[in-house]
A and B are shown apart, each in its own frame.
Chain A
Amino acid sequence: MKGLISLIVGIIFSIGLAYSGMTQPHIVRGFLDFFGNWDPRLVGVMGGAILVHGISYYFIKKRTSPLLHTTFHLPTKKDIDSRLIMGALIFGLGWGWAGICPGPGIVSMVTGEPAFFYFIGSMLIGMKTFQILERRKSL
């Protein structure tokens, strides 16, 4: 049942991404192009998403547990460390360079366009690289 919910959430999420324009890198980079021909559409996407989830979160957090699971898996970290900011900055550089972030990159693979396969393949290598470095550090 939890798997079915995940599948349905994935379907709704990808339709939302595509319909909102986030699967078109020029719309994403248009938003980041503050000193050029600025495109406000990403503000609408994030605003719409935060409006809906901000309200739903207010009600969901009153529950002691989710409907199909024993506990909520919410992030527990509260501190702002250099790792958070460095990571976000590195991500942002990559995001602006191609106009693609993980969700839209994966959804856009349905076009068969090689660019998205290069992007996602390389993204997985970047993730694995970080995981290996992390593991080495903790040993």
Chain B
Amino acid sequence: MESVIGGMLIGAAVSIMLLFNGRITGISGIVSGLLDTKTLDKNWRILFLLGLIIGGFVFKLVHPQSFTLISNAKTMDFIIAGFLVGFGTLMGNGCTSGHGVCGISRMSIRSITATVSFIAAGAVSVVLFKLLRGSL
């Protein structure tokens, strides 16, 4: 039930962004816009990311169990994964938030295609990880 309520909060957040600012809340796009010197509208991006951090800090105080890291992944795994996520989300124009939540809600065929693709690749990745490291 927590997952559905949390998901509804995410849905409410992206709705507020679209209604007031007219923006898609796609995390990869918001972050990559800050890395690109051509991007002029940096303020809302910085404030959104600041909000993510503030929300995380506050929620960690009241609900620290939401930040449990159980993983067999090593430092190198996080580095490899991070690079693939950064490169892939820009190449595919979005991540779980932009395609998975915002795009599917708009019934975008591109986002549905992307979401099916990254879930399938994620499933393959988990199988490979288990083969290589023994367990997740």
Contacts and interface: CB of A to CB of B under 8 A. Distances in A.
Contacts of A68: 20-22
A98 B17 CA distance: 29
B47 interface: yes
B87 to A, nearest CB: 4
Contact of B75 (A7, A19, A90, A118): A118
Given A48-B7, A88-B99, A60 B87 contact: no
Contacts of B14: 9, 13, 49, 53
A107 B131 CA distance: 29
Given A7-B50, A16-B10, A127 B66 contact: no
Interface in A59-77: 60, 63, 65-69, 71-75, 77
B110 A10 contact: no
A-B pairs with lowest CB-CB distance, top 8: A10-B51, A20-B6, A87-B92, A126-B86, A48-B7, A92-B121, A52-B11, A94-B84
26 contacts: A10-B48, A13-B51, A14-B56, A20-B2, A24-B66, A49-B8, A50-B105, A57-B105, A66-B19, A91-B91, A93-B84, A95-B96, A97-B73, A97-B80, A98-B82, A100-B78, A102-B31, A106-B49, A107-B56, A119-B78, A119-B79, A122-B80, A124-B31, A124-B35, A125-B82, A127-B89
Contacts of B75: 114-115, 118
A49 B32 contact: no
- Max count, chain B CB within 10 A of own CB: residue among A6, A23, A108, A109: A6
Interface of B: 1-25, 27-28, 31-32, 35-36, 43-45, 47-60, 63, 66-71, 73, 75, 77-93, 95-97, 99-106, 108-110, 113-115, 117-130, 136
A54 B121 CA distance: 25
Contacts of B2: 19-21
Main secondary structure of the interface of B (DSSP, over half): helix
Nearest to A68: B20
- Max count, chain B CB within 10 A of own CB: residue among A24, A95, A125: A95
Interface string A103-115: 1011111110111
Contacts of B115: 88
A136 interface: no
